[in-house]
Chain A
Amino acid sequence: MIWLTWRQHRQHLLAGLTLLAALGAAYAALRGGLVTYVRDSGLSICLAQPDEGCGHLIDGLREHYPTLLDLLPYLSLVPALVGVFVGAPMVPRELERGTNRLVWTQSVGRTRWLLTKLGLLGAASVLFGLGLGVIDRWFLSPYVAGGVVSPVERNIVGLLDVAPATYCLFAFGLGVAAGGLTRRTLPAMAAALAVFVGVRLGWESLQYHLFPPLHALVDHSAAVPVGPGRQDWVLPVSPFVSADGTPIDDTLVARWCGPAPTKQAYQACLVDHGVFSATYWEPASRFWAMQWLDVAVFGAAAVALLLVGAVLTARRRG
């Protein structure tokens, strides 16, 4: 059975390794300039000082490959490939070619066939996901160190470390369950893709409800905003509020402090009118709590889906 699994899925293994290698090579090419900048600009020395802002040096870091960072959200959909190309066709392709009648009537039987395939391919999915997590972590580490990218940021937290492994196992389970339900290759592939994308995007929103961001009112007289630390993720909303937290309309603030001659003048105007900014941020210290919640939720879902797929395959007409 191990040989058969290898023989039937070696092209998937090759494709997975090629993808990881291509991603690694692309990152390595881009990361070279990044690492040089961090060293030569003095940013690494600045970051070593706990109290330094390093503002303009970090802005320089931001200038490096901003378009690439825009592509990162799409990387969160890479695990879907495991479900679409490995999980979904696993059973339907046998049924469509009739080869299930050959392979399930050998002495080892259908149950052994199922358990071996699910075990080996599931393990391979997890390893592929770990590879993704390690490569993404390695690539993003200079950005994370510089505070350009926060490890708990939307689109990022699911790319790092162990989270991609559980997404890959989940996608595989989704594919197997879809294959067991539809018993047709193409509908199973489509269903696995659609459900994965929906669940993945939905989960990103849900995550920040489970870990509600902290918030604070920022007095514009302060030179450096108090609240979030360098690696925390500051949410891209900072509405104007009064001292008691009630929102103040943007147009009102514009009328009061209009186009001010200098930044200092503008801030002084805001202080005079009692205008504060509300800052929301997700502390980077929650990173592992978020990761382990991913592992628990998607790991459990993956096991449930694999069970559904296995039962449907084992019980129904061959």
Chain B
Amino acid sequence: MTTAFEANGLGKRYGRRWALRGVDLAIPAGRVVALVGPNGAGKTTLLETAVGLVRPTVGAVRLFGVAPGPRSLPAVGFVAQDKPLYPDFRVVELLRLARRLNHRWDESYARRRLDALGIDPRRRAAKLSGGQRAQMALTLALAKRPRLLLLDEPTANLDPLARRDFLDAVAGEARTTGLTVVHSSHSVAELNRDCDHLVVIRDAAVVLAGDVARVVPPGRDLEGVILAALGAPSRAVAA
């Protein structure tokens, strides 16, 4: 079986503080992964290390066996925290940017998707609603036709309806294309319910990782397992 996301002895230190330490992970291809942990636990650092935005202090990340960089990036769709878009760019210009910067790019897919969502291609990114902004960022990531989709708190600040639409879109994509998804969230309320693999991270370290079917015993629920893994019920996580 292919390993989509692999970390070996991964650590990142900022000054004297370790944002990530001693992380070993192997996520099989095709999984929908919920990456859960309180704010500041190291989720963003882990995802940004995978796309080469952060250079590890020790250890290494490999995506489908390839180190982060121009060789691995074509296989990765990354939706960064807060869904950054150039505010003065129109939707068509964002599509053009992605088309120019990716060798593989499915323009008709992107157009169909935005059309179905009712997002006006002439609209400037700054004028998009929170939900549209998230969908726009997801469209840019998916039209690359990646094998791995990394989502950093994509549903934060979304209203419940937009959140459900977003999660449905990701789940649908994963079901139909076999895409591997890693979806981070800082609270069990934001948890991706469609996940079949769980990674729980606390104080810069992975405290639980594995397929849901294996780590959640019969009779226990997912939330209970996560809260137990995080030790004393953290208010940030339980919220």
Which A residues fall within an 8 A CB radius of B? 1-4, 7-8, 97-112, 315, 317-318
Contacts and interface: CB of A to CB of B under 8 A. Distances in A.
Interface in B2-47: 14
Contacts of A2: 100
Contact of B55 (A99, A103, A315): A315
Contact of A105 (B55, B76, B100, B104): B76
B103 A7 contact: no
Contacts, number: 81
A112 B70 contact: yes
A102 B100 CA distance: 13
Contacts of B82: 98
B224 interface: no
B54 A104 contact: no
Q: Is the interface of A mostly helix, strand, loop or mixed?
A: helix
Given A4-B101, A97-B87, A108 B70 contact: yes
Nearest to A101: B80
B64 interface: no
B190 to A, nearest CB: 20
B174 to A, nearest CB: 20
B161 to A, nearest CB: 25
B129 to A, nearest CB: 18
A111 B71 CA distance: 12
A103 B48 CA distance: 13
B184 to A, nearest CB: 14
B89 A109 contact: no
Interface of B: 14, 48, 51-55, 69-70, 73-74, 76, 78, 80-82, 84-87, 89, 93, 96-98, 100-104, 137, 140, 144
B52 A109 contact: yes
A251 to B, nearest CB: 66
Contacts of A7: 89, 93, 97
Max chain A CB contacts within 10 Å: which of B76, B80, B82? B80
B84 A106 contact: no
Given A1-B100, A3-B100, A105-B53, A99 B70 contact: no
B53 to A, nearest CB: 4
A106 B102 contact: yes
Given A101-B80, A105-B76, A317 B53 contact: yes
Given A4-B97, A4-B101, A105 B52 contact: yes
Contact of A107 (B14, B55, B101, B137): B101
21 contacts: A3-B100, A4-B97, A7-B89, A97-B87, A98-B81, A98-B82, A99-B84, A101-B53, A102-B84, A102-B86, A102-B140, A104-B53, A105-B73, A105-B78, A106-B101, A107-B73, A107-B74, A107-B103, A109-B52, A112-B70, A318-B53
